[in-house]
Amino acid sequence: MFALSLLALAAVLLVALTLWRRRSPGALRLIAAYERLNRSVGIAVENGTRLHFSLGRGNLFTTRAGSALAGLAMLRRLAERTSVSDRPPVVTSGDASLAILTQDTLQSGYRAAGAEDQYRFTTGRLTGLTPFSYAAGTISTIHDENVSANIFIGDFGSESALLAEASDRENTSLIAASDNLSAQSVFYAASQEPLIGEELFAAGAYVGAGASHEASLNVQDILRWLIILAILIGSVLKFGSSL
């Protein structure tokens, strides 16, 4: 019952704050990784190089879907911003349903930029269905596609070490985040400005994906404080009943 109430409250807050954000956009705190990402987008367009997105192996029908959806929100906005580039971004993934949604997201970004005729479905790729076949296919993309920046956002495992090493060998920028602890540790050591914890889910807001993404950050903060308050009240009540 408490969980359902919390979800209902979150939905109401999200709608209300989205409408408010459309009228009065707020300021976001500086996150170095997203600053680097925005610079990398400009460099890729100017130099005729590619951005490489990799969205991991998160199945959209499991609890691991959240990180992949955060990556897709970022992808749509950046596909729109780089649609004029000679070399459009290429996206790899390790799950069939995610690969289909990746292609649809890319097409949606091109359509929003009025450049749908520039879209090529081959830029959204399923590189493997097992961790290491996915890594092997993704590494070839890093090596062979004139990539200037690698963005890894999603559910990764131990294969993340191979991907980070491939990026380092090509001397490209690495912006990475994951909801998996083993991948988080790899990306923290390998990336120039690591994304930590919930910063992963702020991706859409930091690339200008829309007011709803900014509002979601406020909703997360409000719910976090409500949960903390509930825990404190519950602790006090339990302690009082034991006296």
Q: 181 and 165, same structural domain?
A: yes
Q: Domain span at residue 153?
A: 32-209
| Rounded CA separation 87/151 (Å) | 16
In this prediction, residue 209 carries a pLDDT of 54
* pLDDT tens for each residue of the chain, 243 residues long: 555 665 565 566 555 555 555 556 556 667 778 888 888 888 887 788 888 999 988 877 777 777 888 888 888 888 888 877 778 889 999 998 889 989 998 888 888 878 888 888 888 999 988 988 999 999 999 998 888 889 998 889 889 999 999 999 998 889 888 888 888 889 988 888 778 877 777 776 666 655 655 666 666 777 777 778 878 888 887 777 766
Q: What are the residue ranges of helices labelled H in the chain? A: 2-23, 32-47, 65-81, 96-112, 131-144, 160-169, 181-190, 203-206, 211-242
Asked whether residue 9 is assigned to any structural domain, the reply reads no
Give the span between the Cα atoms of 224 and 144, in whole angstroms: 44
Domain co-membership, 204 together with 214: no
pLDDT in the model for residue 92: 94
Considering the domain architecture, whether residues 169 and 233 belong to the same structural domain is answered as no
Confirm whether 22 is domain-assigned: no
Q: Quick one: which of 228, 240, 213, 235 has its CA closest to 17?
A: 213
pLDDT computed for residue 21 by the predictor: 56
Regarding whether 73 and 157 lie in a shared domain, the answer is yes
- Full DSSP string of 116-170: GGG--GGGEEE--SSHHHHHHHHHHHHHHTTEEEEEEEEE--TTHHHHHHHHHHT
- Do residue 201 and residue 216 come from a single domain? no
pLDDT recorded at residue 167: 92
